C-alpha cells in the first residue's frame, strides 16, 4: 500500500522549488520585501494544499524563514504563535478533553436522542441535534466519533429485522450518516471556539486591524445561522433526497436506554465538568455586563483559561489526588492546530507589513465593474468550493488576509466580508475528503461518493445563498 501518494511527493518537492523561483525571480514583484513574503507564502500554500507534510509542520516555516530573509525578527514572528487567540482555543480544547474523558458528551447526546423520540425521522433529527450541540464545544471530529457507534447500533436493528436491509432501511442509514457528518460541520459554526477557522479569523482580524470579535457577538450570528442551516439540512436529507418512509424502528428506544445504562448514574466528575462548563458559557455570554457592573477585566481568553485551569485543579477525590484532568491527558490535545493558528497569524502579519494586502485592496478599489455584493458573493462561493479540496483552516489562514485587503479596497468594514468567507469554509458538504466528519461517516460503508455529492452540492448552494443573506441583513447589525 502506498502511504505517501505521488501528489504529496510532487507537492513536497514543488514547495521549496517554487520558493526559490519566486525569491530569485529576475522580475521584481512589487518590491524585494514583498517578493520574499510571496516566496514563503508560495511554499506554505503548496505544502498546505498537497499536505506533503502535516499542515502544522508547514505552519512552522515562518519561524525559520522570516528571520533568515529579514522579513520579521524572531521575536515578532514567534509572538504570533503565542497570541491570546491561541490560548482561547487551547482553553476550549481542554474543556472538550474533560467532557470526553468523563463521557459527559456521550450522556448528553444519548439523552437528546431519547427526548426527540424513536420514530425513524425523529431518530435522525435526534442524532443531528446531538451532534451539532456537541460540535459547538468539542471538535467536529470528536462529536462524529461519539455519535457513529451509536448510529451503527441503530442501523443494525434494521439489518437484523424480519424483512432484512430493504431500500427504505438503506435510505434511513444514509440519512443518519449524512445527518451526523453535516450537523457536525454546521454545529461548529455556532460558537467562536466551535471550529478552528473561526479562531484563525478572529486572530488575524485582531492582530492586523485591532478589532475584537467577542464570544457573544459571534454566537448571536453563528447560532441562528446553524439553526437555519441544520433545519434545511434535515429537510433536504430526510424529506427530499433520501426519505426512508419507515413506519417505526423496533427496539430503538431499548438500544438508547441500554447505552445510557452502561454509563450508569451521573458521576461526581461529570457534575464537576458540567458545572465548570455551564459557568464558563455563562461568563462568556455576560462578560461585558459583568465588566461594566464590577469593574472587572474579564476577556474571552481569560475565561477560557480559567475553565482550563479548573479542570486541572478541581479535585473529585482530593484525598487520593484525583483531579478531572492530569497533564498526561493533554497528549490527546491537537497541539498541531494551535501551531497552525500561529503560522497563519505570522503569514498574515508579514503580508500586511510589506503592504501586499493594501495593494490588493487598492487594486480592487480601482475596478468598478462589479457591485460590492457581487464581489462578496463570489468570494463566498470560491471559498466554499475550494474548501472541498483542502484544509479549511489552512485556507482561511491564506484567504482571509487577502479578503481583508479587498474589503479595505471596497471601503467596507473588513468583518462584513471576512466573517461570511470564513463561515463558508465550514460549509463543505460534497466530498468525503472535505472535512473529517465527512471522511469518518464515509468510512462506515453506508455512503457512496455520488450520494454524498448529490446532497452536498444542494447544501453548498443553499449555504452560499444563506451566507449572502446574512452578509446583507445580519452581520452589519452585529459587527
- The CA distance from 250 to 163, in Å, is 12
For the residues 215-228, what does the mean pLDDT come to? 96
Q: 461517516: which residue's cell?
A: 441
Supply the pLDDT for residue 161: 63
Range in 42-46, 179-183, 339-343, 473-477 the model is least confident about? 339-343
For the residues 181-200, what does the mean pLDDT come to? 94
Domain ranges (residues) in the chain: 1-79, 85-332
For the residues 7-22, what does the mean pLDDT come to? 94
For the residues 132-142, what does the mean pLDDT come to? 91
For the residues 387-404, what does the mean pLDDT come to? 86
Supply the pLDDT for residue 163: 63
The model's pTM is 0.86
Whether pLDDT at 2 is above 70? no
For the residues 276-305, what does the mean pLDDT come to? 91
For the residues 132-148, what does the mean pLDDT come to? 91
- The CA distance from 83 to 199, in Å, is 11
Q: Among residues 456, 476, 472, 395, which one has the least CA distance to residue 177?
A: 456
Range in 133-137, 200-204, 353-357, 426-430 the model is least confident about? 353-357
Confidence tier at 27 by pLDDT (50, 70, 90): confident
For the residues 407-433, what does the mean pLDDT come to? 92
228 vs 147, which has greater pLDDT?
228
Whether pLDDT at 404 is above 60? yes
Whether pLDDT at 463 is above 90? yes
Whether pLDDT at 254 is above 80? yes
Q: Please state, rounded to an integer, the average pLDDT across all residues of the chain.
A: 89
Q: What angle do CA 163, 168, 172 make, to 5 degrees?
A: 115
Contact 24, 69 (CB under 8 A): no
Whether pLDDT at 1 is above 60? no
Whether pLDDT at 164 is above 70? no
Residue 266 DSSP code: P
Whether pLDDT at 235 is above 90? yes
Amino acid at each position: 500500500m502506498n502511504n505517501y501518494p505521488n501528489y504529496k511527493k510532487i507537492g513536497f518537492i514543488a514547495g521549496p522549488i517554487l520558493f526559490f523561483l519566486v525569491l530569485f525571480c529576475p522580475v521584481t514583484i512589487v518590491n524585494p520585501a514583498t517578493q520574499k513574503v510571496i516566496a514563503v507564502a508560495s511554499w506554505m500554500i503548496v505544502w498546505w494544499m498537497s499536505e506533503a507534510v502535516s499542515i502544522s509542520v508547514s505552519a512552522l516555516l515562518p519561524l525559520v524563514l522570516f528571520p533568515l530573509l529579514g522579513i520579521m525578527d524572531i521575536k515578532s514572528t514567534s509572538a504570533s504563535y503565542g497570541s491570546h487567540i491561541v490560548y482561547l482555543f487551547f482553553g476550549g480544547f481542554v474543556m472538550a478533553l474533560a467532557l470526553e474523558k468523563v463521557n459527559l458528551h456521550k450522556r448528553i447526546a444519548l439523552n437528546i436522542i431519547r427526548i426527540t423520540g424513536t420514530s425513524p425521522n425523529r431518530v435522525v433529527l435526534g442524532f443531528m441535534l446531538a451532534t451539532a450541540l456537541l460540535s459547538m464545544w468539542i471538535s467536529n471530529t470528536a462529536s462524529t466519533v461519539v455519535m457513529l457507534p451509536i448510529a451503527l447500533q441503530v442501523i443494525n436493528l434494521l439489518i437484523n429485522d424480519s424483512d432484512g436491509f430493504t431500500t427504505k432501511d438503506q435510505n434511513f442509514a444514509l440519512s443518519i450518516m449524512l445527518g451526523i457528518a453535516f450537523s457536525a460541520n454546521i454545529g461548529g459554526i455556532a460558537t467562536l471556539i466551535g471550529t478552528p477557522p473561526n479562531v484563525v479569523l478572529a486572530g488575524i482580524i485582531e492582530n492586523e486591524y485591532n478589532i475584537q470579535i467577542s464570544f457573544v457577538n459571534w454566537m448571536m450570528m453563528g447560532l441562528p445561522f446553524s439553526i437555519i442551516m441544520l433545519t434545511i439540512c434535515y429537510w433536504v436529507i430526510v424529506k427530499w433526497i433520501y426519505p426512508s418512509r419507515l413506519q417505526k424502528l423496533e427496539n430503538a428506544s431499548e438500544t438508547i436506554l441500554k447505552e445510557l445504562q452502561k454509563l450508569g448514574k451521573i458521576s461526581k466528575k461529570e457534575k464537576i465538568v458540567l458545572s465548570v462548563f455551564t459557568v464558563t458559557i455563562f461568563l462568556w455570554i455576560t462578560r461585558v455586563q459583568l465588566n461594566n457592573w464590577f469593574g472587572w477585566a474579564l476577556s474571552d481568553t481569560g475565561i477560557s483559561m480559567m475553565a482550563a485551569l479548573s479542570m486541572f485543579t478541581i479535585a473529585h477525590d482530593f484525598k487520593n489526588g484525583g483531579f478531572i484532568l492530569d497533564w498526561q491527558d493533554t497528549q490527546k490535545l491537537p497541539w498541531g492546530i494551535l501551531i497552525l493558528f500561529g503560522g497563519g497569524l505570522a503569514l498574515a502579519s508579514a503580508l500586511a507589513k510589506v503592504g501586499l494586502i493594501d495593494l490588493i485592496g487598492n487594486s480592487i478599489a480601482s475596478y468598478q465593474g462589479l457591485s460590492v455584493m457581487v464581489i462578496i458573493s463570489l468570494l463566498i462561493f470560491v471559498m466554499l468550493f475550494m474548501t472541498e479540496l483542502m484544509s479549511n483552516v489552512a485556507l482561511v489562514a491564506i484567504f482571509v488576509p487577502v479578503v481583508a485587503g479587498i474589503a479595505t479596497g471596497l471601503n467596507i468594514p473588513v468583518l462584513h466580508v471576512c466573517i461570511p468567507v470564513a463561515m463558508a469554509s465550514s460549509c463543505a458538504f460534497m466530498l468525503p475528503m472535505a472535512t473529517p466528519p465527512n471522511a469518518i461517516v464515509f468510512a462506515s460503508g453506508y455512503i457512496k461518493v455520488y450520494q454524498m455529492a448529490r446532497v452536498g452540492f444542494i447544501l453548498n448552494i443553499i449555504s452560499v445563498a444563506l451566507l449572502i443573506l446574512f452578509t446583507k441583513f445580519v452581520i452589519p447589525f452585529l459587527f
